[in-house]
Structure 1
Amino acid sequence: MGPLLVTVPSPSSSPSSRPAPPRPRVLTIAGSDSGGGAGIQADLKTLQSLGAHGMSAITLVTAQNSHGVQGSWPLPPEAVEAQFRACVEDIGVDAVKTGALGDEATVRLVARLLRTLDERVPVVVDPVALSKHGDTLLSGRARAALLAELLPRTSVFTPNLDEAAWLLGHRVPDRAAMRAAARELLAHGPDWVLLKGGHLADDAAADLLTDGESEHWFVAERIPNRHTHGTGCTYASAVAARLGAGLPVPESVAAAKAYVTEAIALGYPLGSGIGPVGHPVAL
């Protein structure tokens, strides 16, 4: 039997002569998840599948798997700043997403770095105070720094109900309380608050987006899938990808909600604990 020959179709034109489609440049400033389900890894998967060019500034390294976080080690502030400047000063940035920042010093550093960007660059802040397994990923002292220094440079703030309760010091049990909590968070300076209601005790996953004047509810049927690791990172990154492409905030969140709902439906078992969401390819 002779050698197997596979014919690969040639592209319509050479890469050098074919103009590349514009790709939003999105920088994620977050922690690394060694298990690949959340953090930087989930961010980059999301950005890639939504047609954005993902860049990263890693803030901390975790030893993590389907059962939770076994350890966490913050990177030195100078390492975080060097990554940020390497991306921004050469490649440029159309949107920024922040995730796990870990400690007060890193929160303050990231807030300072974001203030050096053009104010038109949208910033999506996911507080990542608590992991899917209940692990604390943001120190108590970092809470005040996030509220006072990071939120005033935030375009869209994306806490879930547990994170909102941790930040505000009281429970957020229902939709009426979500409205009140969003108003409290807006008082700290973000342009918009996207309060994610996935922990509500009902059959709908209802998220509230508001800038204090307009109000948008994004509701999806609750999907009976326990493999949801990385949901928050994926959602916030999808918002950043759409903002980086120039969509207004409500349209960006609507598109991101549809994306993360499909990702939850595609969640799959990995290890013997909670598996990750699946990342649909949406070109």
Structure 2
Amino acid sequence: MVQTPARVLTIAGSDSGGGAGIQADLKTMLALGVHGMSVIAAVTAQNSLGVQGYWELPPEAVRAQYRSVVDDIGVQAVKTGMLASPVLVETVAELLATQKAAVVVDPVSVSKHGDALLAEEALDAVRGKLLPTATVVTPNLFEVQQLTGLEVREEADMRKAAEAVLAFGPEWVLVKGGHLKGEAADLLFDGSREHWFRSDRFDNRHTHGTGCTLASAIASYLALGRDVPRAVGAAKEYVTGAIREGFPLGAGIGPVDHGWRFRA
């Protein structure tokens, strides 16, 4: 008898270039053996050179997509990405507050190219409503600074940054140190337990979609039954390989390779 795979839902923006957002999430989920489903919160016009524009979906469309999936198919984990506006952040937070699946929040605010993907006025809703729903939140150093006002200049600053993000209510915080010099070191912290995940740094500029891919991989491994530290460790291994195998696409920054294990 064929068994139904673990199910993971992504709530995020669509990347027309296929390297990040909903597209990266679904590719990651397929690569890791779970069934990926989607709630599209916004549509971007995006390529290797940047984001040329984005359009939010109305809250009722986001709510209807979510209810359609969750009420019939069910989920073991949810991942959120680009939510764009205060009303969409609030809508998604309200939906997530009523369900029991693991939630991975990627607090997306800018693209790899520096284009804004979250309205400044939405930050309060992220802090006060979305982060309290999270099993794991995965900010990079720029997002840490936006959320807390703290600037992480070296690895020693990451514990304080994690504590500041944790104060908003998530169960775990994964502070991503990929923009620091040296090893690519990430800190996972829940207020008492501290786990460090390290990997080599690769001389490869084609890293579009890294954050989306990591968060989706964590959600996938949580859906498969791993606890948070083991899910993060496995996701870190997967995304490290994807970064290593990132490939040129278009005239700008290419994507990580979500299918690298198929060709390893």
Give the aligned residue type for 1:243: L
Counterpart Cα distance in 1 of 2:236 and 2:119: 28
Q: Which amino acid aligns with 2:235?
A: A
Identify the match of residue 151 of structure 1 among 111, 120, 131: 131
Q: What TM-score do the two structures reach when normalised by structure 1? A: 0.91
Given that 1:39 and 1:99 are in contact with CA atoms closer than 8 Å, whether structure 2 keeps it comes out as yes
Tell me the residue number matched to 1:47.
Answer: 29
Q: Distance in 2 between matches of 1:155 and 1:282?
A: 27
Are 1:229 and 2:211 counterparts?
Answer: no
| Secondary structure at the counterpart of residue 99 of structure 2 | coil
Return the offset for 1:282.
Answer: 5.0
Which structure has the highest helix share of the two?
2
- Which runs of no fewer than 5 residues in structure 2 stay unpaired? none
Contact 2:11 2:81 in 1 (8 A): yes
- The code of the aligned residue for 1:226 comes to R
SS in 1 for 2:39: strand
Q: Deviations over 1:73-118 (max 9, x none)?
A: 0000000001000100010010000000000000000000001212
- Structure 2 equivalent of residue 76 of structure 1: 58
Whether contact under 8 Å (1:262, 1:280) holds in the other structure is no
**Local SS of the residue matching 1:36:** coil
For residues 130 and 24 of structure 1, what CA distance do their matches in structure 2 show? 30
Q: Trace 1:206-217 onto structure 2 (pairs within 5 A).
A: 206-217=185-196
1:20 maps to what in 2? Answer: 2
Structure 2-normalised TM-score? 0.97
**Cα-Cα RMSD:** 1.0
Paired residues in the alignment total 262
Select the residue among 98, 104, 110 that pairs with 1:130. 110
Match of 1:94 in 2: 76
Paired with 1:249 and 1:221, the residues of 2 have a C-alpha distance of 22
Q: Which residue identity is paired with 1:42? A: A
Letter matched to residue 244 of structure 2: A
Quote the Cα distance in structure 2 between the aligned partners of 1:188 and 1:170.
Answer: 14
Aligned AA (1:246) = G
AA at the equivalent of 2:198: V
Counterpart for residue 189 of structure 1:
169
Q: SS of the residue aligned with 1:259?
A: helix
* Contact 1:225/1:267 (<8 A) preserved: yes
| Aligned counterpart, 1:59 | 41
Partner of 2:243: 264
Q: In the alignment, which residue of structure 1 is the partner of 2:91?
A: 109
Report the CA distance between 1:22 and its aligned residue.
4.4
Q: What is the CA distance between 1:281 and its match in structure 2?
A: 5.7
Deviation at 1:177, TM superposition (A): 1.2
- Cα displacement (A) at 1:24: 1.1
The answer as to whether partners of 1:243 and 1:249 remain within 8 angstroms in 2 is: yes
- Deviations for 1:237-263, whole angstroms, at most 9, x for unmatched residues? 000000011100000000000000000
Whether the 8 Å CA contact 1:43–1:234 is kept in 2: the answer is yes
The residue matched to 1:207 in structure 2 has which SS?
strand
Paired with 1:280 and 1:29, the residues of 2 have a C-alpha distance of: 22
Q: Does 1:277 align with 2:256?
A: yes
Distance 2:111 2:258 in 1: 19
- Aligned to 1:109, the other structure's residue is in SS state helix
How far apart are the structure 2 equivalents of 1:241 and 1:274? 26
Letter of the 1:215 partner, please give it.
E
Deviations 1:147-202 (A, max 9, x none): 101111100000001111111123111112111010001011000000000000x2
